Structure 1
Amino acid sequence: MRASWHARSLRRELLGWLLLPLAAMVAFNAWTTYRDARQIADLITDRTLLSSTRMIAESVHESDGVIQAPIPPAALEMFASEDRDRVIYRVNGPHGELLTGYPDAPDPPQRPTGFQPIYYQGTYHDEPIRAVALAQFVVSDGTNGGEAVVTLSQTLRSRDRFERELWLRSLRDQVMLMAVAVILALFGLQFGLQPLLRLRDAVRRRAPDSLEPLDSGDVQQELKPLVTALNEALAQVRRQVAAQRRFVANAAHQLRTPLTSLKAQIGVGLRAADADADAPREALAGMRSTVEGMKRLSNQLLSLARAEQGSALLHRETLDFVMICRNAVESLALTAVERSIDLAFEAPSPPLNVHGHAMLLREMILNLVENALRYTPEGGVVTVKLSAQEGMAVLRVEDSGPGIPEIERAKVFEAFYRRLGSGVDGSGLGLAVVREIVASHEGMVELQDRAAGPGLAAVVSLPALPPS
């Protein structure tokens, strides 16, 4: 239960990535809406105050040498509301004398001049107010008698309620919009994830041993890389399974022949033990030869299986390719002497480093040189040359044997392929092992004519490391 609670959900993550920016946008809109509602409430309040103030100012006049300031009822009626805001007004004459109104009404920060109103904030009896002050020219006896100052203020109850209602209405619309967006996002995710869910169901319905590729025709463009990667993984598994089955089949096929021969030789030795003293010795010699062949065959099969696993599974290291070649050639020197074959090795003096698997590279060289020794007649020549060419380590194994026709050179790299009429014993695995080892080291191998006369040359090119 705990694991399922903490399990990641693609639907929840996508919904989160959709809703988090939307929630941030709603929060930003709520803030801007609040600011706009405040500005609108201030604007309406200021315009109402200014209209009422102008009505009062226009009623200020001189009569019989006395400046009078009657308050029109309409100027105060426009502030009537259910919030019962207080309206505080005051009219001062040109010399600052109080003409009418509240003597303790808050003064403006500065005396207004001309027809420009002054808006300001303040408090009246510990209650916040919004106020405006306006100057009004008063003419007395046909001359400019000066300016009367009209101040009008209002408590902010109705203004705050208007601001709150305006903001809450907008916020309600935003929340409803977000709720609709959540519902639409859920429906969109449900339908948008259908191809992925169908892909999941298709994988679940497959048989455990099915390695067939998945159908990518009905998936969305964004899912095609996933299906392609799955198909590539399935193809790699198919290749591994095929290689394993091929290895088992080849091993069973190739081991059956020497085992049958070994059984026959044992039978011959047992039947001839009493009749001929030399027969057991000959049978034992044959058995020894068969066992040696089986040992070599087993090593080649194991090398082939390891090389077929691919380069990604090989443990690689920096190796001195000259030293590996030299050691492999020296291990076959006695075989060359027994067959009266001139075995030569040529290599550059500085180290030639490659990045690879030491045992497989040695097996590759042994296979090439053993093949050359096997097909070279007595008195012949086998030359192993190693050189560096354009960033590659090039191994060239030449022999003075009969060679291979060009039409058959591609076939001899196939496992267990044997040339008819060669008259040479072998398993047909040597060059197949070479091909797989070279391929697992990102190299190339090809067969060419011998440069110094009749014969064959096997050329292997491997990526060389830059000199340190």
Structure 2
Amino acid sequence: MSRSLRAELLAWLLLPLAAVVAFNGWSLHRDAMRTADLITDRTLLASARVIAEQVKEADGRVEALIPPSALEMFASPERDKVIYRVLSPSGELIAGFPDVVAPPAQPRGLEPAYYEGTFRTEAMRAVALAQPVISKVDGGNALVIVATTLHGRDRLVDEIWQTSLRDQLLLVGIAALLTLFGLHRGLAPLLRLRDELRSRDPESLKALDRNRVQGELRPVIDALNHALDRVQAYIALQRRFVADASHQLRTPLAVLKTQVAMARRDDDSQTRHEALAAIDGRIDSMARLVNQLLTLARAEPGGAALRKDVLDFNEVTRTALESLAGIAFDRAIDLSFEAATAALPVRGHVTLLRELVLNLVENALRHIPQGSAVAVKLEQGEAGLLLVVEDNGPGIPEADRERVFQRFHRLAAATVEGTGLGLAIVREIVTAHDGTIALMETQPPPGLRVEVRLPAAPGEMPAA
């Protein structure tokens, strides 16, 4: 089920507003009730005072004349019942209905007392008012009670509340329309961006213009542009890998085909044996080239994600050197290894780190004269670990020390066949592990000293 950003934004804007309207509706109803009660109480008090003014003593008796104006105050379309009760200071009923509910407490002084009750099953609101009577026979305060049913009050509450609620709902409706318009205008840059992405060439990886959207969306555009850059770099890497592989494999394949043709034409068994030996050697060279190309593709930025673990670089180096012992023995080269006194934890890819040591040491073994020496040393440095590979061969001229890291670059004076990928692979592996590599002349010269610095992994080595 697809989600709509416009609908979610509208919901987050209108739902709180609806909650506010609901609270306002409750508050308006309460205020309307207070207003209607106030109007009803004022009318009751005015009616009670008109009646109280007519409570007098005549011929030794307290009487109350009920003027019509006292009851006409309650005239309304609902025709509410108006009831009253007047008691003399002695408590004798002198006017009105005897079953009108008395107030729960007598009025204090001349202050009116308001209360609610029931008159013959109908709810009512009433006021009780004390009226002083001057009399030699029955002096004191007469009690005047005026009550009315609540149909008119309820109608007034509904009118006030419904009018206010209607205004509130109208305001919410207008706010919703304005919000929709605002959302449409606010989302317009994002919709234009969507249309641009839909209509652009599928092969286009051009960066998106971050200035065409609001500031809050620019991080999203930056992330998209970063992803496009990574895709572009990955595509460029793949194209370069294919170009390098085809370039380097074309010549050996042509030579291999020529050797096969020669072996097929020649009937001499010795010649065929030599051709097959040459073919076998060529296949070994091609296998090594393919492996180096794959290693280079894996180590390059943008290649497959590297799984890095905490490793002991002492052990990685020792394993790599053991596999090169045969080459050193065949060429009568003294290969020595000075390991660190303690474990050297490093966070890295075990295969690539082993390939790093293999390429450095194998380059030295293959490019120095027979009977020479190669020394490998590991030590803990201030900023990490240090790998040193030193030989007493002819070395590399200073002008060529940077160019030898370029892929397929070989020194003009080189006498050993190679792919020119060894040091290019080494630099990519070092870069992938956030390290540095430097080539320098040995002391005393001639000779080559290679220093590789890698950041040490914090913490202890994991248990074997």
- Normalised to the residue count of structure 1, the TM-score between the two structures is 0.91
Partner of 1:435: 427
- Structural mapping, 1:234-273, within 5 Å: 234-266=228-260
Report Cα offsets for 1:6-54 as digits up to 9, x if no partner: 3211121111111111111111111111111111111111111112112
Paired residues, what number? Answer: 460
More deviation in 393-402 or 10-19?
393-402
Residues 1:300 and 2:300 aligned together: no
Give the equivalent residue in structure 2 for 1:214: 208
User: Does the CA contact (< 8 Å) of 2:62 and 2:138 recur in 1?
Assistant: no
Note closer, same or farther for the CA distance 1:144–1:384 as it changes in structure 2 (3 Å cut). farther
Q: Which residue of 1 aligns with 2:104?
A: 109
CA distance in 1, matches of 2:390, 2:92: 127
Shift of 1:148: 0.9
Q: 1:118 aligns with which of 105, 113, 124?
A: 113
Aligned to 2:437: 445
Unaligned runs of 5+ in 1: 1-5
Identify which of 58, 80, 83 aligns with 2:53: 58
With normalisation by structure 2, the TM-score equals: 0.92
Aligned-pair CA distance for 1:179: 1.3
Aligned to 1:97: 92
Tell me, yes or no, if the aligned pair for 1:311 and 1:441 is still in contact at 8 Å: no
> Taking structure 1 as reference, are residues 176 and 272 closer, same or farther at Cα in structure 2, changes over 3 Å only?
same
Q: Deviations over 1:297-326 (max 9, x none)?
A: 111011111222647712333433222211
1:426 matched to 2:399? The reply is no
Query: Helix, strand or coil: the match of 2:426?
Result: helix
2:460 to 446, 459, 467: 467
Residue 74 (structure 2) pairs with residue 79 (structure 1): yes
Tell me the distance in 1 between the aligned counterparts of 2:49 and 2:397.
117
Are positions 1:49 and 2:44 aligned together?
yes
Q: Equivalent residue for 1:196?
A: 190
Percent sequence identity is 55
Q: Which amino acid aligns with 1:386?
A: L
Equivalent position SS for 2:66: coil
Q: Which residue of 2 aligns with 1:380?
A: 372
Q: Is 1:355 aligned with 2:355? A: no
Q: Distance in 2 between matches of 1:451 and 1:66?
A: 140
What is the alpha-carbon distance in structure 2 between the residues aligned to residue 387 and residue 419 of structure 1?
Answer: 30
Paired position in structure 2 for 1:233: 227
- Whether 1:315 and 2:310 are equivalent positions in the alignment is no
Partner secondary structure for residue 458 of structure 1: strand
User: Quick check: 2:297–2:303 contact (8 Å CA) kept in 1?
Assistant: no
* Corresponding residue for residue 326 of structure 1: 318
CA distance in 2, matches of 1:96, 1:19: 61
Once the two structures are superposed, the pairs formed by residues 2-17 of structure 1 within 5 Å of their partners are 6-17=1-12
Structure 2 unaligned segments of length 5 or more: list them. none
Contact 1:22 1:178 in 2 (8 A): yes
**Secondary structure of the residue that 1:193 maps to in structure 2?**
helix
Partner residue of 2:386?
394
User: Could you give the per-residue CA deviations for residues 422-468 of structure 1, whole angstroms, max 9, x where no partner exists?
Assistant: 33432111111112222223333332343565422222233333214
What is the CA–CA distance in structure 1 between the aligned matches of 2:110 and 2:399, rounded to whole Å?
Answer: 111
> Helix, strand or coil for the counterpart of 1:174?
helix
Aligned AA (1:179): G
Q: Tell me by how many angstroms 1:329 deviates.
A: 0.7
Question: Would you identify which runs of 4 or more consecutive aligned residues in structure 1 move more than 6 Å?
Answer: 270-273
Q: Is the 8 A contact 1:384 1:395 kept in 2?
A: yes
What is the RMSD computed on CA atoms of the aligned residues?
A: 2.3
Counterpart of 2:358 in structure 1: which amino acid?
L
